[in-house]
Structure 1
């Protein structure tokens, strides 16, 4: 999901609560705070020697130990995103969420659905990949030795 789509979901239901839902159906606790909005730029060289740049709009989500009644409305998050306009250069950037469960992890926001009075944002895991499969002699290979069964 790109930032313009994320903002559109927020503006369609500004008084609604927000829910971030993982692939397995678990959710980030409802009393989360969005503590940062950032423009993340990763400049790197892949294993085939090609220079690449990846950009995203990253929301850092944090749950306080002593604020169980806190709820962030869609309108409030929209206003936080508005404050970040000067550092986030484009609404075409993909949106990612950084959250600390057992470890700090980053998730791609894959979609939004309005249900039961809340905007439910779907989070999907990010995965590593070889970006230079041809240069590495791995054309058509999947993880787990090319079995095609998905990742181990």
Structure 2
């Protein structure tokens, strides 16, 4: 029985040793597996980070180009608005100046004609010149009561003072 007990103890020690050896082997295998998984995770993290960074750079570049394009378009629009406004203002100012010149010239002509008419009326004893008919021909008032004169009776006395 002693040999059986010794055998059992040996078996138990071998079993414990084998258990311990298997545990250490599993621990080493799991440790190796854990290291390789961590290395793969790090590599995967690097690839994902690089992909995200590249995507961010592309997106940033696209946004920068779009912003530049938008700024160019807005500045061109404002430049067009300013140029059109300046041209409209200059055109209106030119038209107003031209009309002012016409009005001033017409006013001067009217004043001269009024002075001339007053002078002629004064010299000719109140005879007034005007325009008559559809064609606006020059005409004067005549004294129909004074009668007609000349061989063909085509002359008449002017009405006046």
- Please indicate the TM-score interval, normalised by the length of the shorter structure: under 0.3
After TM superposition, the score normalised by the length of structure 2 is 0.15
After TM superposition, the score normalised by the length of structure 1 is 0.16
| Structure (1/2) with the larger helix percentage | 2
| Structure (1/2) with the larger strand percentage | 1
Structure showing greater relative contact order (alpha-carbon pairs closer than 8 Å, 6 or more residues apart): 1
